[in-house]
Amino acid sequence: MKATVVCVIYLCCVILSNGKEIQDTSQIPKNQKGRPSFHLRPPKNWLNDPNGPVYYKGVYHLFYQYNPYGSVFKKPIVWGHSASHDLVNWIHLKNSLIPKNSFDINSCFSGSITILPGNKPVILYTGVDAKNQQVQNLATPKNLSDPFLIEWVKYPGNPIMTAPQWVKPNDFRDPTTAWKGKDGIWRVAVGGVKNDSGVAILYRSKDFVHWSLHDDPLYYGKNTGIWECPDFYPVSVNDRNGVDTSEVDMNLKYVLKVSFRAHDVYTIGRYEADKEKFVPDGLGITGNSSDLRYDYGKFYASKTFFDSVKKRRILWGWINESDSSTDDINKGWAGIQSIPRRVYVSTTGTQLIQWPIEETERLREKHVTYSGEKLRGKSLLEISGITASQVDIEVSFKMPKLEVTELFNPKWDDPQVLCSTNTAWVSGQAGPFGLLLMASKDFKEQTAVFFRIFHNKNRYVILMCSDQSRSSVRQGIDKTTYGAFIHMDRNVDVISLRSLVDHSVIESFGAKGRACITARVYPQFYMEQEARVYAFNNGTLDVVIETLDAWGMKKTNGN
């Protein structure tokens, strides 16, 4: 009991002592209906890349790129810092890394945390120095006994890495979590570009302070432009458990993720430690629409970490806004972090599966359920009894017979183009069917998340779309429609969809997390009336809802 009391007192002291910088909400506009209620973000100002997620002494931490002076991206950028005991409710602590030194005076850009032997966390981050060049720096906690990691001390010998001669000094950033080989040597990858080819630049160190450039990159991809925010980690092929970054085992595959052209792209393969090479199983990262993505919507600069308590790997991504900078200034805030997602490899080992962490379900409140409802061609079913603007909804649709679905055209190689030309109101045979979210009473504004089913050589081809084309009547808003092909391990009879709606953000997970699409929506009607949600079928074939469950969601602490 005494420990609990001490912890509560400590939390109160942290909030009181640091609240003036981040917790002050006096200047936030009153009308904030689009502001998410259970996604992580500080009370005001600009937020982007998640940095250095870590678990330390009973506390989860997430750092992030943050502008403490306004709601647009403007240097110098600092490391904001939030902490949690449950990955749901957060407190916002004082900024951790602030530009002050010659090696980071123009910004403290993205990076990672590595846990050294003896449970010692250390930050590797990109600094923009006095010459506006990007260099890699090191920082350590001032007090290792502090579970909230309030104070950090920058290494006086920074920078510890500078750009190779073949990389421009402003194209060298975002170090990964480091990993340790059997030889006791640490490795880390840094993002860059060489002749328009993205590169994961490899460095090695015996003491984590003195780093040397390896002759060749860990991996590179042609014609992609610069790689930002690389992530490199092992995954188990035997189960869903996460694996520590330095784990060595025969039953492991490796994931390399890089961020470019507004997407987070990954490939799965093997790590040949003796050659310091990552070798993808398939084509690797090509820069084409066939690349595997964490999320096919608004999701960028992501970062994972190994949760040693529950033996899982957790993923966060930055979800940016779709409205204008002027709107962001008027709101007083911009950018949120995604729902933390558990990530693991599929049974075939060919793709990653993502699912909201189980703690998210603690936010569920009022529950409504439906089963056995038939959606005839071009029909709607309103889901009533819950707050449609703050909801977690899961639905399973019975698939139509394979032989009566439309034939897939092999020329349809880009799912986003296919979804953009075949929106929710373009009728097919098996689909579109799915959910209408953040919908107005007159349907003039709505966001449709749906499936279309095709067949190709006795197999299903499943297209998942998130159609924002009618999400708002407002002008100057990004209303891009997103799409993804869902790769199933086998033919199935049921296809599932889960969407978490949090006012202006919709995160959707198709087929139990085989495809994910995140959208931002800003309907005009929502300023005056409440949103509605429907299950719908605009195809000619009937679709049966096997089960549909929807829960209103609580507002989390820290939002």
Residues 6+ apart with CB under 8 A from 161: 135, 136, 175, 190, 203, 211, 213
Q: Would you call 49 a catalytic residue per the annotation?
A: yes
Q: What are phi and psi of 82, to 5 degrees?
A: -130, 150
Alpha helices in 315-407 (DSSP H): 325-331
Q: CA distances (Å), 488 to each of 293, 308, 375, 512, in order? A: 15, 30, 24, 10
What is the spatial distance between Cα 481 and Cα 490, in angstroms, rounded to a whole number? 27
CB atoms within 10 A of CB 143: 12
Angle at CA of residue 31, ends 25 and 34, nearest 5°: 95
| Residue among 24, 49, 239, 392 flagged as catalytic | 49
What DSSP string runs through 49-99? EEEEEEEETTEEEEEEEEETT-SS--SSPEEEEEEESSSSS-EEEEEEE--
Residues facing 515 on adjacent strands = 510
**CA pair distance 105, 440, nearest whole angstrom:** 48
3-class secondary-structure state, position 419: helix
Separation between Cα atoms, residue 341 and residue 498, nearest integer Å: 13
Token pair for residue 275? Answer: 């050659």
**Residue positions annotated with a catalytic role:** 49
